[in-house]
Structure 1
Amino acid sequence: MRAQRASKPPLDELVSRALGLVPTHGRAILGITGPPGAGKSTLTSALLAELGLEVAHLPMDGFHLADVQLDRLGLRERKGAPETFDVDGYVTALRRLHDEPRRTLYVPGFERDLEQPIAAELAIPPSARLVITEGNYLLLDDNGWEHVRPLLAECWYVDLDDAVRRSRLVARHQQFGKTPDAAREWVDQVDEANSRLVGATRSAADLLVTS
């Protein structure tokens, strides 16, 4: 499906659309993507709170490589870029949601205070008929990320004015310990490069949602 024009539909319309993805048998995975700071987690939290069926959350952030691995690979200063994630582990988890619906799937979460993944922090039970996964790179088409999109029933792209999004990112980095100058530099040097990469995938989304 080609992406629709960006709009800000009421939450109940988004909830209805998400419910419509659930098959008669098995489960569906809904992807929420967009650039850093666009509001993916906010939308995901709102959907999780409103959906009436058994729903679960599988965040892509849990598949960040730990800092010890980033140091080994020389990627610490690019943390958050596509190559700083365990994409194979993420794809395997998504596949297991379809292939092993009767088993509880334990997946890693991400602790922002520590900026580290936490193994098996989240559990997706067999009763979960809809799973929402959110992250920056769900629509990338290379380096292993191309295996993500075929596993999703739909993928929605969250859009936001760039100035507002950048301001949010600077504030977030300060909240978790960076100085104002360091926060702005990280946004300029790291987050915005990732944002451009994600932005290039916008037209591949099934739905564009203005945050």
Structure 2
Amino acid sequence: MEQTEIELTERAIKLLRDKPSNQRVLIGLAGSPGSGKSTMSSNVTDRINKKFGEEISIVLDQDGYHYTREELSKFPDPELAFKRRGAPFTFNPKGFLDLIHELQKPITTESKDILAPSFNHKKKDPEPNSRRITPQHRIIIIEGNYVLLRDEYWKEISKIVDEKWKIKVDPINARRRIIKRHLEAGISASEEEAIERCDNNDMVNAVYISENSVEPDLIIDSIDEIQG
């Protein structure tokens, strides 16, 4: 895992060196649930920042663009929307894409901080304007299950980012991680409930990702210990 993170760190830094000084490096990091995206993106970002001695890199994850529970309640089939929350159709990809377009713009002396939402797991809803991306943030890892999808809006992300990374994970390992995560996070009250949620939602999403994503520039082997 450490060697992989070192190699990804150096790869991201090379992208920055090859980029005009007034533009950000945008990296799309995708993978199915349980592949380790969150851990990998966080660790690589930390390594980049330690290399530079300041925070020039940040992770932007798609979770802030979940539709809120209020929005889901207005769906044509609210019961299905809540049951399948986390599937592509329960996200606002246009809003996510709009933010990425902002990050794509050249940095000038007039550039201001860009605010983005994150997901509040206690409230089970997005938290508006809770992430701050400053002009000093030059390497952005855009992380999420669906950032490399071929679907409407999502597919535009692949055209914008400088590189597309995808984590490959064994489905058995992913399933084990997801069930454990649901229990530890209190998402499921029992192992039976965690298994049902995993098999009827997360693993369904994993198949969709596998069948409907663009080809990445780099495939990363998941490490058994990492989570995300």
Q: CA deviation at 1:157?
A: 0.6
Provide, for residues 44-70 of structure 1, a one-character-per-residue CA deviation record: whole Å limited to 9, x for no partner.
111111003411221111111111111
Matched, 1:207 2:189: no
Q: CA deviation at 1:138?
A: 1.2
Give secondary structure in 2 for the equivalent of 1:140.
coil
Please give the alpha-carbon distance, in whole angstroms, between the structure 1 residues aligned to 2:122 and 2:177: 17
Matched, 1:19 2:30: no
Percent of pairs with identical residues? 29
Q: CA deviation at 1:160?
A: 1.6
Provide, for residues 18-42 of structure 1, a one-character-per-residue CA deviation record: whole Å limited to 9, x for no partner.
1111213211111110000100001
Structure 1 runs of 4+ aligned residues shifted over 6 Å read: none
Q: CA deviation at 1:203?
A: 6.2
> Structure 1: which amino acid aligns with 2:220?
V
- Give 1:132's aligned residue: 141
Q: CA deviation at 1:163?
A: 1.0
- Give 1:34's aligned residue: 31
CA separation of 1:203/1:149 partners in 2, compared to 1, >3 Å: closer, same or farther? closer
Give secondary structure in 2 for the equivalent of 1:47.
helix
Matched, 1:120 2:120: no
Q: CA deviation at 1:150?
A: 1.0
- Give 2:61's aligned residue: 59
Give secondary structure in 2 for the equivalent of 1:58.
strand
Quick check: 164-173 or 49-58, which moved more?
49-58
Matched, 1:98 2:104: yes
Provide, for residues 72-121 of structure 1, a one-character-per-residue CA deviation record: whole Å limited to 9, x for no partner.
21211110111111101000000001126322100001123333211111
Q: CA RMSD in A?
A: 1.8
Contact 1:9 1:209 in 2 (8 A): no
> Structure 2: which amino acid aligns with 1:48?
T
CA separation of 1:71/1:113 partners in 2, compared to 1, >3 Å: closer, same or farther? same
Q: CA deviation at 1:197?
A: 1.1
Q: Normalization by structure 1: what TM-score?
A: 0.91
Quick check: 88-97 or 16-25, which moved more?
16-25
Contact 2:151 2:212 in 1 (8 A): no
Contact 2:28 2:148 in 1 (8 A): no
Please give the alpha-carbon distance, in whole angstroms, between the structure 2 residues aligned to 1:33 and 1:44: 10
Q: Which has the larger radius of gyration?
A: 2
> Highest relative contact order (Cα 8 Å, sep 6+), 1 or 2?
1
Please give the alpha-carbon distance, in whole angstroms, between the structure 2 residues aligned to 1:185 and 1:71: 22
- Give 2:84's aligned residue: 78
> Structure 2: which amino acid aligns with 1:62?
G
> Structure 1: which amino acid aligns with 2:105?
D
- Give 1:182's aligned residue: 193
1:43 is aligned, of 30, 40, 43, to: 40
CA separation of 1:98/1:202 partners in 2, compared to 1, >3 Å: closer, same or farther? closer
CA separation of 1:92/1:207 partners in 2, compared to 1, >3 Å: closer, same or farther? same
Q: Normalization by structure 2: what TM-score?
A: 0.85
